[in-house]
């Protein structure tokens, strides 16, 4: 705060008044929250940029905790009726050192090139696929395209300098954790991380998820959580006042995977309407296919084929949701026939770790494998996707086929996660 006051010169009075007003609003809204403390309500508020739990969004603002240069710049700019690169110009000659000016200019330029005209600018967490409508996804994808062009050593690569992201992973991960950490690093931010959090964090001593989250939000500006329990991301988001990203919650959801999957479909086949997609493999336990099916309902004329062994069929909640929205779907057993008819062939692993009964796992594994024979049936313009990791459900000789998009898909995760960090940190 002290440094901010020196830098901003005449903004002290304005801030005090703002803080007092915000405190009154915070009290009123906290009372409202106490009367209606349902998690779902908080989630809606979270989606719209408001969290009303005791230590939440308004509480922080009531305490005058305006930490980031970006937010200070925006308020300063608002006070002077200026926008975009003029924010950076306004800082010149006001005591920021060269690095500070470069960072501020990078943030201002990034804001100017990305016109947030949808609800994306209100997004304050990423917990479930339902939060993203078509316009938000398309705008995020445009930001991801920008992120894919960020080069090391440029001002843009310092966009998140000074911010810290915490990655808390209670389940194993290669792509999600490393791409989030690479995304933060490529934008100049810092990372505090724990993998195998159930074993190496104080969860091993009996600490609750809620207490861990409340502690970590004191250290980081944004938290990325992977947990083994469906619904855990919602629980976590409800107790903190900083952006929370769901990196997969057991068999529940994997919304950032869905975003990168839809982004990949757009890049690979050039459209998001009029798409026939086959979801193959473990559809009962696969959080990626559940989130992807939800996200694709935002587009026109989508047809789903569900190809799964009997013990891991797509669950009724997703099928009922599609039916209610008038979206065509069918369950099929002939992978070759389905492959011949689709634009996207989306394979998934049979998730051994989710089976209570290993006999069920044995009955499901190896039933649907994408090999060269299946590729021969697939149209030339189609794409094969897989959230990875793969075990044996796509044979390795498919990897050299230009339609094998799964490693490009994994790299798109980096660009989508860079975009999400930028959007959620309001830079």
Centroid of chain to Cα 144: 12
Site membership for ligand CP, residue 388 (CB under 6 A):
yes
Q: In whole angstroms, how close is the CB of 251 to ligand CP at the nearest point?
A: 13
Does residue 252 belong to the site contacting ligand CP (CB under 6 A)? Answer: no
Q: Among the candidate windows 27-35, 53-61, 93-101, 167-175, which touches ligand CP by CB under 6 A?
A: 167-175
Q: Which residues are catalytic?
A: 175-176, 205, 226, 254
Check binding of 411 to ligand CP (CB under 6 A).
no
Closest distance to ligand CP from the beta carbon of 411 (Å): 12
44 vs 200, beta carbon nearer ligand CP: 200
CA dihedral 309, 315, 321, 323 (to 10 degrees): 40
Task: Calculate helix-pair angle for 175-186, 406-424, nearest 10 degrees.
Answer: 50
Task: Answer yes or no whether residue 189 interacts with ligand CP by CB under 6 A.
Answer: no
Give the sign of the dihedral formed by CA 391, CA 395, CA 398, CA 400.
positive
Closer residue to ligand CP in complex, CB, 26/245? 245
Cα–Cα distance for residue pair 425/427, rounded to 1 Å: 6
The piece of 171-179, 274-282, 296-304, 341-349 that touches ligand CP (CB under 6 A) is 171-179
Nearer to ligand CP, 193 or 363 (CB): 193
Question: Which two structure tokens, joined as six digits, stand for 420?
Answer: 């999400």
Cα–Cα distance for residue pair 34/27, rounded to 1 Å? 10
Asked if 257 touches ligand CP (CB under 6 A), the answer is yes
Answer yes or no whether residue 175 interacts with ligand CP by CB under 6 A. yes
The residues facing 344 across adjacent strands are 277, 383
**One of 173, 193, 215, 395 touching ligand CP (CB under 6 A):** 173
* CB nearer to ligand CP: pick between 175 and 235: 175
Q: Which helix (H) or strand (E) holds 232?
A: helix 232-239
Interface stretch with ligand CP, choices 97-105, 145-153, 354-362, 385-393 (CB under 6 A): 385-393
- Residues between 273 and 312 that touch ligand CP (CB under 6 A): none
Give me the residues paired with residue 224 across strands. 167, 245
Q: Which of 387, 420, 425, 427 binds ligand CP (CB under 6 A)?
A: 387
Residues 6+ apart with CB under 8 A from 401: 375, 384
Measure Cα distances from 388 to 347, 359, 376, 384, 400 in Å. 9, 23, 22, 12, 16
- Stretch binding ligand CP (CB under 6 A), from 53-61, 116-124, 194-202, 386-394: 386-394
| Residue 176 binding ligand CP, by CB under 6 A | yes
Report the C-alpha gap between 210 and 199 in whole angstroms. Answer: 17
- Which parts of this chain interact with ligand CP (CB under 6 A)? 173-176, 248, 257, 387-389
């Amino acid at each position: 705060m002290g440094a901010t006051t020196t830098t901003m010169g005449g903004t002290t009075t304005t801030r005090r008044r703002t803080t007092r007003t915000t405190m009154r609003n915070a009290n009123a809204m906290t009372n409202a929250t106490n009367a209606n403390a349902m998690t779902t309500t908080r989630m809606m508020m979270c989606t719209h940029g408001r969290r009303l739990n005791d230590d939440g969004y308004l509480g922080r603002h009531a305490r005058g905790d305006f930490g980031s240069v970006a937010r200070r710049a925006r308020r300063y700019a608002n006070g002077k009726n200026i926008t975009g690169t003029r924010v950076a110009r306004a800082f010149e000659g006001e005591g920021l050192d060269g690095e500070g000016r470069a960072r501020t200019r990078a943030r201002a330029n990034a804001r100017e090139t990305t016109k947030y005209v949808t609800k994306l600018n209100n997004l304050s967490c990423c917990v479930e696929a339902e939060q993203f409508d078509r316009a938000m996804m398309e705008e995020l994808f445009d930001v991801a395209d920008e992120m894919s062009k960020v080069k090391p050593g440029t001002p843009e690569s310092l966009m998140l300098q000074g911010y810290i992201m915490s990655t808390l992973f209670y389940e194993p991960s290669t792509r999600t954790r490393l791409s989030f950490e690479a995304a933060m690093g490529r934008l100049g931010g810092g990372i505090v991380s724990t993998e195998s959090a159930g074993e190496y964090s104080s969860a091993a001593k009996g600490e609750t998820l809620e207490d861990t989250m409340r502690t970590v939000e004191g250290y980081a500006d944004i938290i990325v959580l992977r947990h083994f329990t469906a619904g855990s991301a919602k629980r976590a988001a409800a107790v903190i006042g900083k952006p929370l990203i769901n990196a997969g919650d057991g068999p529940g959801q994997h919304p950032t995977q869905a975003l990168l999957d839809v982004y990949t479909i757009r890049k690979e086949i050039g459209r998001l309407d009029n798409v026939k997609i086959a979801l193959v493999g473990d559809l009962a336990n696969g959080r990626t296919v559940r989130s992807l099916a939800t996200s694709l309902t935002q587009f026109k004329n989508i047809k789903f084929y569900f190809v799964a062994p009997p013990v891991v069929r797509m669950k009724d909640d997703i099928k009922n949701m599609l039916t209610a929205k008038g979206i065509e779907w069918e369950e099929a057993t002939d992978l070759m026939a389905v492959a011949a008819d689709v634009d996207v062939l989306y394979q998934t692993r049979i998730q051994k770790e989710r089976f209570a009964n290993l006999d069920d796992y044995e009955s499901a594994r190896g039933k649907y494998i994408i090999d060269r024979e299946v590729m021969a049936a697939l149209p030339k313009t189609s794409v094969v996707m897989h959230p990875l990791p793969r075990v044996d459900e796509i044979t390795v000789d498919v990897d050299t086929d230009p339609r094998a998009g799964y490693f490009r898909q994994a790299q798109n995760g980096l660009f989508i996660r860079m975009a999400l960090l930028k959007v959620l940190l309001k830079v």
